[in-house]
Structure 1
Amino acid sequence: MPKIKNAKLFKYELTIKENHLDSFAHVNNAVYLQILEEARWEFITELGFGLEEIQKSGKGPVILEVNLKFIKELKLREKVRIETQCIDAQSKILHLEQKIFNSKNELCTTAHYILGYFDLNTRKLIHQSPEWFRAVGIEIE
């Protein structure tokens, strides 16, 4: 069973725009998933495991479960920071945490994910590769 030796904390900033809002003038619940996904793609792409590599290797992440907690409202034109970090690794599964902070550095949202490592050809979960571990910023003991 892999054990995390070190886990990089990724930070991604964005501005809340009009297209993120719903009829209540706050960020739509489904949009949270979109902006969190944007942050995840940025960090794995930065570490050499973007869409091109996934398509070439035929292997990549799949979300098995997500738990979102809405703590504080995000506001229009507010600059926010998304922090992403792996918190646990198993042979086929990763546990990932994302947090959104507002411009006052207040915690607004937490998201906990269970991710599998998926073979696009066999359509099954597989053991995670060293390349994938590097792409999510973890060193394994």
Structure 2
Amino acid sequence: MANLAEPFRIRLDVRISDIDPQLHVTSAAYQQYADHARFECVQAAGISVDELLRDGFGPVNLEAVIKFHRELRVGDCVDVTCEWVWGEGKTYRVENTLTRADGVVVATISYVCGLLDLKQRKLIPNPAAEWASRATDPTVIGLECVPARA
């Protein structure tokens, strides 16, 4: 399935607590920025994470690949995009691009994700359908409409 809209985007300020001894942002902070963007994106789509968890489903990261391009330092602002890439099967990708306010891309993060059935401890077969059925605006997460549940 192709993505339909521009990727979701938020702006974050780099905090002093995000900095390592070399005075640039730690790799863990980059992942936290991406996780925060994904959470905000889900909320912007109208999905209640509380309801998702209550119903026995939990989003999981199965793989994360970070590519660093430039430094990000205290005082910088960073725009973080969140683009969901859907296909067939139990997994999907979430792609993040982190860009300084001056337009320089500082990092990209690519996640392979799934939606875990918390009782069975297995990935559900059609995560796109589950996410879309909970969204008031599925286009925010790259879905056109509510697919039929398997």
- Identify whether the pair has TM-score above 0.5, normalized to the shorter chain: yes
Q: Give the secondary structure class of the aligned counterpart of 1:139.
A: coil
Percent of pairs identical after alignment?
29
Runs of 4+ in 1 over 3 A off after TM superposition: none
Amino acid paired to 1:33: Q
Residue equivalent to 1:91 = 89
Distance 1:74 1:137 in 2: 28
Residue equivalent to 1:139 = 144
Q: 1:102-141 residue pairs with structure 2 within 5 A? A: 102-126=100-124, 127-133=126-132, 134=138, 136-139=141-144
Per mean C-alpha deviation after superposition, the further-off stretch among 112-121 and 48-57 is 48-57
Q: 1:63 to 1:79 in 2, by over 3 A?
A: same
Per mean C-alpha deviation after superposition, the further-off stretch among 51-60 and 111-120 is 51-60
Residue equivalent to 1:75 = 73
Scaled by the length of structure 2, what TM-score is found?
Answer: 0.83
Is the 8 Å Cα contact of residues 70 and 108 (structure 1) preserved in structure 2? yes
Per mean C-alpha deviation after superposition, the further-off stretch among 95-104 and 49-58 is 49-58
**Aligned-pair CA distance for 1:48:** 2.5
**Aligned-pair CA distance for 1:88:** 3.3
| CA RMSD across the alignment | 1.9
What is the total number of aligned residue pairs between the two structures? 139
The higher relative CO (CA closer than 8 Å, separation ≥ 6) is in 1
Is the 8 Å Cα contact of residues 97 and 110 (structure 1) preserved in structure 2? yes
Is the 8 Å Cα contact of residues 5 and 138 (structure 1) preserved in structure 2? yes
Does residue 50 of structure 2 align to residue 52 of structure 1? yes
Structure 2 runs not aligned, ≥5 long? 133-137
